[in-house]
Amino acid sequence: MSQKISQITEKINGAEETKRQFLFIEKAKEYVQTLSKELGRKPTCCVTTFGCQMNARDSEKLAGILELAGYELIEDEDADFVIYNTCTVRDNANQRVYGRLGHLNSLKKKNPHKKIALCGCMMQEPSVIEKIKKSYRFVDLIFGTHNIYKFAELLVAMFEQEGMVIDIWEDTDQIVEDLPVERKYAFKSGINIMFGCNNFCSYCIVPYVRGRERSRNPKDIIREIERLVADGVVEIMLLGQNVNSYGKNLEEPITFAQLLEEIEKIEGLERIRFMTSHPKDLSDELIQVMKKSKKICRHLHLPLQSGSTRILKEMNRRYTKEQYLELANKIRTEIPDIALTTDIIVGFPGETPEDVEETIDVINKVKYENAFTFIYSKRTGTPAAAMENQVPEDVVKIGFDKVLKTVQDTARERVALLEGKILDALVEEVNEQDASLLTGRLSNNTIVHFKGGKELIGKIVSVYLKECHGFYYLGEIVE
């Protein structure tokens, strides 16, 4: 089994690298055309995404290159080429990938032309690579998070080489613009404004697999959004592990708030979303920009993780319970119609029932519209994994259930306050359960279902919020 392990150290100008990758796309086309003749049809490809919205955006880039190379994109893992874009935030994400690889192996035995690729955060862990090399030798291509822009080049290497092609970089400061993208939605899109993370929360593997923070040039971001708007996009989601620290490492520093003001000037763009915000970096400037904005959505995701100052210190979050509550109160005061959502971890090493009560106290005071509540997942390679006082599962379960109930009760109260109002919703799709209904999303991220024709998908319509059903609404379009 041959392998290709490369670490490119020389810096190549971004524009030159883009040209270089388009040359590899042309080369890949030749191989795909040859395969097409052998199969007697167009080869198919399936890109499966695990994890966050940044991974979803990366998958759109992979899909764009594949389509340009001549593949037909489908959502069936019986495809001729299957790519798993992996997540490694929690151990069960890794286990899901291993489990599904077994299924892919059985499919590959039936299709001699089938190729399998693995990429994303999970591939940045050396122990994962060793396990795949040992136990999953049928995988054809492995690459990580830092060299995704080299996908066309790696695609060619996969066709040209025997055995497994492995291309993992430890880190990079390279940002390559203008490569193909195949968007999932015609009317909305994610936009990477930065990559990596400098925060090193003690439970989190992301800085180790995504690398240090690097911000895109604001002119490149604006140019990309302008092209998307010209192509029919009305809503964009700005993506970064911590968007509030955007621009600090640029040659000409710019704040995230200043970037938002520039994006707001783009004609034809209707809505601006962003995530994720770290509480320690959320500025008064950003709050004021959001307050006066006509385009920034009334939704802010502000991860809490724990309401205990002691646990927050162990997590290396660099704010206290009191500072978080002060910030949340300031945001609610300045922007009364905003929806706040959050992330909460229960069961961090050393957490006591009293610490859980501190978290519940914050939930009761802030009253989130929604919260993503997780049981702590031990990630090898993080400081928290080596901490003593790992909390027993039965104790964690009790705390988790209490936190989850509090989140659900308070969120229902907040969401119900909208009943009887008329608000704008972006129509996103035909309802999956009832084809006579459309599903839309309010500015504050609340979902609403209402009757209407599919020609409205991608349009912003006024909706009367008739009935609150916990976390979503049934409504009626207002003509």
DSSP-assigned states of every residue in 201-250: -TT--HHHHH-S-EEPPHHHHHHHHHHHHHTT--EEEEE-TTGGGTTTTS
Apex 477 CA angle, 471 and 479, nearest 5: 155
178 has a pLDDT exceeding 70: no
Query: Which long-range CB contacts under 8 A does 382-387 form with residues at least 24 apart?
Result: 382/202, 382/203, 382/204, 382/205, 382/208, 383/202, 383/316, 384/202, 384/203, 384/314, 384/315, 384/348, 384/349, 387/202, 387/314, 387/349, 387/350
Q: Where are the beta strands (DSSP E) in 103-231?
A: 115-120, 141-143, 165-167, 188-192, 194-195, 214-215
- Integer angstrom CA distances of residue 172 from 4, 10, 23, 215: 18, 11, 22, 12
Average pLDDT, the chain: 90
| Per-residue pLDDT tens over the stretch 232-277 | 999 999 999 899 999 988 888 899 999 999 999 999 999 999 998 9
Helix, strand, or coil here: 444?
A: coil
Contact 83, 62 (CB under 8 A): yes
Q: Considering the entire predicted model, what is its pTM?
A: 0.80
Apex 360 CA angle, 359 and 361, nearest 5: 90
pLDDT of residue 236: 96
Longest Cα separation, the chain: 67
The percent of residues above 70 in pLDDT, for the chain, comes to: 95
| Per-residue pLDDT tens over the stretch 269-325 | 999 999 989 999 999 999 999 999 999 999 999 999 999 999 999 999 999 999 999
Torsion 159-162-164-169 (CA) sign = negative
Q: Which one, of 249, 239, 308, lies nearest residue 277 by Cα?
A: 239
| Per-residue pLDDT tens over the stretch 95-148 | 888 888 988 989 999 998 999 999 988 898 888 899 999 999 999 999 988 778
Distance CA 371, CA 381 (A): 27
Contact 381, 457 (CB under 8 A): no
Q: Which one, of 273, 278, 286, lies nearest residue 305 by Cα?
A: 278
Contact 175, 207 (CB under 8 A): no
pLDDT of residue 12: 43
6 has a pLDDT exceeding 70: no
16, burial (CB in 10 Å: exposed 0-12, middle 13-18, buried 19+): exposed
Higher-confidence residue of 4 and 139: namely: 139
